[in-house]
Amino acid sequence: MAEVPDWRGAVASAARVVVKVGSSSLTTRDGGIDDERVRALVDALAARVRAGSEVVLVSSGAIAAGLAPLGLRRRPRDLATQQAAASVGQGMLMHRYTSAFEGHGVRVGQVLLTAEDVIRRSHYRNAQRTLYRLLALGVLPVVNENDTVATHEIRFGDNDRLAALVAQLVHADALVLLSDVDGLYDGNPRNPGAKLIPEVANASALDDVDVGGVGSSVGTGGMVTKVEAARIATGAGIPTLLAAAADAGRALGGDPVGTVFAAWGRRRSTRLLWLAHATAPRGRLRLDAGAVRAVVERSASLLPAGVTAVEGEFAAGDPVELVDEKGHAVARGLVNFDATELPGLLGRSTHELAADLGPAYEREVVHRDDLVVLSR
């Protein structure tokens, strides 16, 4: 009989672990940074570093930290004010981390990412190289979305998802999501009778769990985003633990706290994970039945002959959604042509286009290396 893996033990022994902490776990009710909470988190992470692990911290809190100095009572809804709050708060947050980790002899480095930085082939390698070098130098990277420049059209949207993707980016052995909730429940934890789920054996076990609701007044996440992050990470072979931030030390030590999600998938190309989960499509390409089969079943590139319609405004290199004849999304990829160029190419072979327009047009609309098939 096959031995059941000890996933909590896997988290406790992980040589490289990504830890994510949410805004509500770092701030006071009025939005200011809670130094005691920061110190408690840092103590737990520094202990893990002393034990020989490499740690990457994905930290929310920049926007929340900027609320009080700007006289804002709650998280702003408009992007410009969010960016202003992040600009003020990010420096304050990093100052707290630098000072707290310094007391443990641990150096930290700030890494701010946008989805644009990592969906493009050359850019994501730069992000990966930077994180690897920081770890090699004994520096603990503190990662956050670059809210000061991110746009609605192309952003991660929440740091739970960012953490899952960073875990894949650095080839982490485990992901720990710290929150103001102590784990996943079989219903709303505020309701009487809701029970903590100590372990999730596979993705299908989540289908009947109620994870509705939104995050706190200072954050963007909620249980939905945490479960989605767990799906991304475990689907890439990375065990994930969801626990309360107050239990950070115990969670990292393998104690029976929170909810552990078993790793079930295998590692995939990092860039394709970014493409599937960290991008908002700028447009849509409608495919005929033959092109759908080629892309989905044969992992082939998308050629102009298989495209029947173009929707949206996009430039070469932007992410686009590939949809079937009924409008169902079947894949996502980085397009090689501007939206204004494509209509004149549809339904034609690459050889024909090259003969009429030149060799530059003998190329795929979406190359298979820049394409990821979506689960249906």
Annotated binding site for substrate: 60, 147, 159
Contact 241, 259 (CB under 8 A): yes
Count how many residues are written for the chain: 376
CA dihedral 218, 221, 226, 231 (to 10 degrees): -150
> CA nearest 211: which of 193, 188, 237, 179?
188
**Sheet order of strands, 319-323 included:** 307-312, 283-287, 319-323, 329-334, 371-373
Whose structure tokens read 């549809």? 346
Contact 198, 260 (CB under 8 A): yes
Distance CA 127, CA 137 (A): 16
Return the amino acid letter for 229.
A
Extended strands (E) in 88-222: 107-113, 139-145, 174-179, 199-200
How many Å apart are CA 64 and CA 73, to the nearest integer? 10
CA atoms of 373 and 161, how far apart (whole Å): 19
Annotated binding site: 20, 60, 147, 159, 179-180, 220-226
Residues at the annotated binding site for ATP?
20, 179-180, 220-226
Count Cα atoms within 13 angstroms, Cβ side, for 156.
Answer: 29
354's enclosing H/E stretch is helix 350-357
> Could you give the C-alpha distances from 85 to 117, 169, 297, in angstroms and in order?
21, 28, 46
* Whether 243 contacts 252, CB under 8 Å: no
Write out the two tokens for 143: 């990662």
Question: What letter would DSSP give residue 11?
Answer: H
Q: Which helix (H) or strand (E) holds 342?
A: none
